[in-house]
Amino acid sequence: MTIVYISASSIETPDKKRRAIERLSGVAEPVLVVLADDVAIEPAELGLAMAVPLNLEEGLVRNADGSVDTVGSRARCADYEAPTLSMTQGSLDATAALAYCMGASLEVFTGSAGAFQCDPSMVPGARELDGLSFEEAAELSRFADAGLNPAIISPVVKYRVPTVLYPTGTRGGSGSTVGTRIAAVSDSRFGPVQAIATQDSVSMVSLSGASLPGTVGAAARLFDAVSRAGVSVLLITQSSTEYSISFCVKSNDTSQVLETIKTEFSMELAAGSIDPVSVMDQLAIITLIGDGMRRTKGIAGRCFTQLARADVNIIAIAQGSSERAISAVISGDRLVRGVRMTYQAFFDAMMPIDLVIVGAGNVGAALIAQLTAQTRRLEDHGVSIRLIALANSRRMIVDRDGLDCEGWKEQLEARGVTMAMDALVALGPELVNPVLVDCTASEALPREYPRFMLEGFHIVTPNKRGNTGSLRQYTALKTIALRHRRRYLYETTVGAGLPVIENLQNLLHAGDKLESFSGILSGSLSYLFGKLEEGLSFSSVVRDAMERGFTEPDPRDDLAGVDVARKVLILARETGLSLELDDIKLTGLIPDEYLSLGKAEFLERLPELDEHFSRLCATAASEGKVLRFVGSIENGIGTAGLQAVGSGHPLFAVKGGENALAFSTRFYSPVPLLLRGYGAGAEVTAAGVFADILRTLNWIREV
């Protein structure tokens, strides 16, 4: 037999009533429908016109105090033959007792939108809970966002009657299909944690003092005082030193609690044996709930590690002896981010990357094209990449559900709004794994990196300005990234797609030491001098390199050698040298007078330099040498300039857009570590940026 209990809230709107009727029509017979005492509705309105009236109390035996005698009631119900369809009115307590005594299935129609793994307003992908144990349901029902009414859960748990909670409410326009089953044992397919519950608007009150350790009854006095104030305590924590006792209450109860405690401990406070009562406001509680946590090691570690990765500071922790609930007190403004990161650790098989790309030029456009091509393959490997925002210097477009990478140029023009850096920074707390990708050559954006990091962003960039600004700025960026556990990745600032920075860092971490370095660090200049060897004019090769996207937006950044000098500085700083850009001894390719010209005028006057470079190439060739623009580090000094190298030099054959870097170290000597590969073009750089983006997946979901 199935007993269906219909609460007033489950049929309070036409839509809820429709869903209740649909559910009733699918319940297997025989059926007993129990309307809550506060439901005033004609049976015909629920399709129950043919239901046989029934007295709920006839099946129950009560004790003198009014409680249900379950033994006597079970004996009375043993021979009961239920009609096909019957109906009555009564309390849920009586209904649950009868279901227990009859061995019947119980369904409770509620007006909520259902019980979910966590609040779907924080994690839209949260799934409805298909099953809970009695104990899990009891724990979860204490939280307002859980979708479980404690007035409904209490009788179910009291009589331990297997129950299906069927919500007739909707969330996001759709309703539950199966409801949540509550039974003696739950078996979640998602692991030991069933749900993440939250409590916001919390304050933590702390009582501390030198007289507390070893004082018998202090805690009893404290909580007796709180009880007299009529305030419910949400969480209690105390260290083994007994120096302090902390507990959480709802923020609107704080003033009442404070007055009560001050009155109770007035003598100790006056004598100074107890410190003034302290209060931390604007806090929140995150609680993991699940029976499986009792049998699984490392749950707390995974939770707290994930919160740390989200830069969420844990103020206090608490765990009951049942081990089915672990709570952490955090700052209220980090609640949503904390929940999303915790959900990722325990429920989401996909590893997310949420991109905010600034800069839609050659590299930015190539990166978006690669994202479009690779999205499906990455999803097959458990990686979910979404483009959340795209911006250029004038406009930006934001979609928290992810932009369509197809036709992004048209979308940016049609739907874009004025670029607002503050709006992009503010996206951080809303995203699980936000990554700022700086594809600009701007000096201003790197100054914003700290703000992005503090809001949870990793930084991936081919922009050299961040690491070649002042040494103070460089040090600050590295420090903030380390302190707040953010990835600051700039592999493409030196070798485009070549793994230069990572290899150098690995050597240094392993105890190696750089003795000297030399290399061709500009793919555009490598291309330039290769073409000059073929007899082409300087001006024609520069224009060709610009059209191919091999140069910086202003080719003088390459021709003046500044781009190479920046790369030398980046490498020098990675090795621990405290250098500024002005410390790099730079000899550029073009006279200073050309640097002061406007870009258009400079390009117009380029042919004036053709004869000069033709003579340089001829002179080098007469000696069996070729021209190469080389960056080097030796004896703590960085240089960048033109060199003529012979056939025995490792850089002799490097041309056509290739980069080559030779590191002589304690471990790699006398033969240096040589990295060589294509280093020119937007696609190569974008591929390197893409690789750095994937490196932000710095956690692996445990199963």
Among residues 635, 461, 638, the alpha carbon closest in space to that of 567 is found at 638
Retrieve residue 441's tokens: 């050559």
Residue labelled with tokens 């990572």: 502
What span, in angstroms and rounded, lies between the C-alpha atoms of 92 and 100?
12
Complete DSSP assignment for 242-302: -SEEEEEEEGGGHHHHHHHHHHHTHHHHHHTSSPPPEEEEEEEEEEEE-GGGGG-TTHHHH
Q: Are 357 and 390 in contact (CB under 8 A)?
A: yes
Q: φ, ψ for residue 363 (rounded to 5)?
A: -70, -45
Question: What's the CA gap between 392 and 334, in Å, rounded?
Answer: 29
Three-state DSSP class for residue 122: coil
Distance of CA 397 to the CA centre of its chain: 21
Contacts of 273 (CB under 8 A, 6+ apart): 209, 210, 211
Report the alpha-carbon distance of residue 684 to residue 678 in Å, rounded: 8
Structure letter (DSSP) for residue 144: G
> HSE on the CB side for 88, CA within 13 Å?
17
Asked if 637 contacts 516 with a C-beta cutoff of 8 angstroms, the reply is no
Which of 494, 497, 519, 521 lies closest to 673 in space, CA to CA?
A: 519
Assigned token pair, 83: 């009609």
Q: Which residues, other chains included, contact 488 with Cβ-Cβ below 8 Å and sequence gap of 6+? A: 449, 453, 458, 459, 477, 478, 481
Identify whether 567 is a catalytic site residue.
Answer: yes
**Tokens found for residue 219:** 């805690």
Phi/psi zone of residue 430: left (φ > 0), alpha (ψ -120 to 50 degrees), beta?
alpha
Rounded to whole angstroms, the Cα distance separating 386 from 290 reads 31
Which residue in 464, 567, 585, 625 is the catalytic one? 567
Pull the structure tokens for residue 126.
């949260």
Q: Sheet of 383-391: strands edge to edge?
A: 417-418, 395-398, 383-391, 351-358, 434-438, 458-460, 488-489
Catalytic positions are: 567
